[in-house]
A = this chain, B = another copy of it.
Amino acid sequence: MKKNTRQIHLNLFLASMGHHEAAWRHPDSNLNGVYDFAHYLEHARKAEAAKLDSLFLADRYATSPTAVQYGALGGLEPHTLLSALAVVTKQIGLIATVSTSFNEPYNVARRFASLDHLSKGRAGWNIITSGTDSEAQNFNRDRIAQHQERYERAKEFVEVTTKLWDSWEDDALIQDQKTGIYADKDKVHELNHKGKYFSVRGPLNTARSPQGRPILVQAGSSEDGRDFAAEWAEAIFTAQQTLEDAQAFYSDVKKRVLLYGRDPAYVKILPGICPIIGKTESEAKEKEAELHELTNPTYSLLQLSNRIGFDLTAYPLDGPLPDLPDSSEIAGHQSRTHLIKELADREKLTIRQLLLRLAGGRGHKKIAGTPMQIADELEAWFVGHAADGFNIMPQLMNGGLDDFLEQVVPELQRRGLFRTAYTGTTLRDHYDLPVPVNSFAKAKLYQ
């Protein structure tokens, strides 16, 4: 198929058992898989066979005894797992989440450069700032830094990592056995970065990787998050409940991208989608009800309280959501808290109803229906400039993922909206993103 129109991008958001919080209790789930590589490989290979753009793993840096009592939390560290998947897959992209609040730029730059080399150009970095005190408490602090400060650190962090990825020019590696010149020292650069958060001399001790650098992905949708994304992100994973909200977000972010002098076509916006697929709409709804039956309100409430940074356990489950602090004033996850409040208001949900609405995707858009209905909705969002593609969050990895890949993807292909074969080899190829120009090489042109 020759590609001559705008195409949908599809990312598979990997989860051990599925994105529904009760997925692990479903009889189709294979619990031995949580810590077994073969389980993840099976899903990665299915996604690659279906020609998806990429796989993605989220991350948190904490858990608690009470959280794991009822929830299938914890698992393999994303970058470690994706490094392993890199050498047993051939084409699909690999996007690992790593926080800028609990790491150092030199380490992160090396690990992603290494992943990009290992995968021959298929690495992506989902940049998060981490928003909970429980995570900060595993890293020498009592509380998480304020929202704006976290993003300020994130900006400097990404400035430094991108310079480290540029510290070897494309043709710096010479490896001339006869003359004994291994690298061109004029094309390997110190950064001598000295900023508010980091001092990094450089150069990196890994030569420039196939993509120049991993693709930069971002997920926060707050003011600070949008501003950060506009400056740096090449793909954005976002949570949007309605077509109108998604269109407004899409348009706002693309405008901000322009203000940073970047091309909006090179920032792909992918809302999260939780598909529940049945032969009929009512079969889909039954599948959903079956999962909802397996939820535990105690656990769900704990998760929601953590997510919004407000303890809801004293409030009646069948009453409304109480007044929450203004989301722009909280330290934690601002945009998700805002979305959850809006959802509860708009649909007049009790806390119990809200918990079920969130059980399937923590605030991401749920679509229950036939493959045709789901394809219609995805097409409407794509054509309506609410999305450049979607972050697919199956409720169940075993079964639910297959439904999407075998029933929805072929329908999108029939409509000419999605590739039937990979047309390139790197993640940048799949997402139609250019290889960034090396900043040190560029600077030389204007010396």
A residues apposed to B, CB below 8 Å: 22, 24-27, 29, 31, 34-37, 41, 60-66, 68-77, 79-81, 83-84, 86-88, 102-104, 106-107, 110-111, 113-115, 117-118, 134, 137-141, 175, 177, 180-186, 188-190, 198-207, 209, 294, 296
CB nearest neighbor in B for A104: B139
Partner of A207, one of B65, B74, B141: B74
Q: How far is the CA of A340 from the CA of B441 in the complex (A)?
A: 40
Query: Known interface pairs A68-B182, A76-B118, A185-B68. Does A137 touch B201 (Cβ–Cβ under 8 Å)?
Result: yes
A103 contact set on B, CB distance < 8 A: 104, 107
Is the pair B206, A65 in contact by a Cβ cutoff of 8 Å? no
When the two chains form the complex, which single residue of B31, B76, B190 contacts A65, counting CB atoms closer than 8 Å?
A: B190
Knowing A83-B80, A202-B138, A203-B65, the reply to whether A31 touches B177 (Cβ < 8 A) is: yes
The answer to whether residues A111 and B80 also contact, given A138-B200, A188-B68, A198-B140 and a CB cut-off of 8 A, is: yes
Are A205 and B35 touching (Cβ within 8 A)? no
B106 touches A102 (CB 8 A): yes
Return the chain B residue nearest A189 by Cβ: B65
Which residue of B27, B62, B202 contacts A205 across the interface (Cβ within 8 Å)? B62
Which of A74, A184, A186, A296 has the most B CB atoms < 10 Å from its CB?
A74
Rounded to whole Å, the gap between the CB of A322 and the closest CB of chain B is: 27
- Selected from B81, B104, B185, B209, the residue in CB contact (under 8 A) with A114 is B81
Which chain B residues border A74 with CB–CB below 8 Å?
204-207
Q: Are B180 and A110 in contact (CB under 8 A)?
A: no
Set of chain B residues within 8 Å of A80, measured between Cβ atoms: 79-80, 83, 110-111, 114-115, 118
Q: Is the CB of A106 within 8 A of B69?
A: no
How far is B279's CA from A38's CA once the two chains are assembled, in angstroms?
Answer: 45
Is the pair A60, B206 in contact by a Cβ cutoff of 8 Å?
Answer: no
A77 to B79, CA, bound (A): 12
- Would you call A102 and B102 a contact (CB within 8 A)? no
By CB atoms of chain B within 10 A, which of A66, A87, A189, A207 has the most?
A: A87
Q: Please, which residues of chain B bring their CB within 8 A of the CB of A37?
A: 86-87, 117-118
7 contacting pairs across A/B (C-beta < 8 A) = A24-B175, A25-B180, A62-B201, A65-B203, A77-B110, A77-B206, A180-B294
Complex Cα spacing A26 to B66, Å: 59
Cβ contacts under 8 Å, A27 to chain B: 177
Please tell me which one of the listed residues B64, B75, B138 contacts residue A206 in the complex, with CB atoms under 8 A apart: B75
Q: How far is the CA of A366 from the CA of B103 in the complex (A)?
A: 39
Residues in chain B near residue A185, CB distance under 8 A: 65-66, 68-69
By a CB distance below 8 angstroms, the chain B residues around A110 are: 77, 80
In the assembled complex, the Cα of A64 lies from the Cα of B61 at a distance in Å of 33
- A156 nearest CB across to chain B (Å): 12
